[in-house]
Amino acid sequence: MASRGASGSVEQGRSTWREWQQQKRELSRWLRLPKKRVTLNLDADVLAWFRGMGRGYQWEINKALRRVMEEEGRGLDGEH
């Protein structure tokens, strides 16, 4: 029997599982990509916001930057 979440919705537990599975796939992909150590100056409030996410905040910064890169239509080759 499926358990109900705090809101009383069975679906809530399923979406949490699906989200976890998606994050697991993203992490696996992210770990396979080559990494480059850089020094980056960020606004203090931006850094505090990301650090507030807890462990893995650097991964979240990378995901945000990748999302912008993909929305701009630029891949690693710099084409539009």
Q: What percent of the chain has pLDDT over 70?
A: 72
Confidence at residue 79, expressed as pLDDT on a 0 to 100 scale: 53
Confidence at residue 53, expressed as pLDDT on a 0 to 100 scale: 93
Confidence at residue 19, expressed as pLDDT on a 0 to 100 scale: 83
DSSP the chain: -PPP-TTS-HHHHHHHHHHHHHHHHHHHHHHHS----------HHHHHHHHTT-TTHHHHHHHHHHHHHHHTT--TT---
pLDDT score of 40 more than 50: yes
pLDDT digits (tens, 9 = 90+) for 4-26: 444 444 444 566 888 888 877 87
Q: What percent of the chain has pLDDT over 90?
A: 32
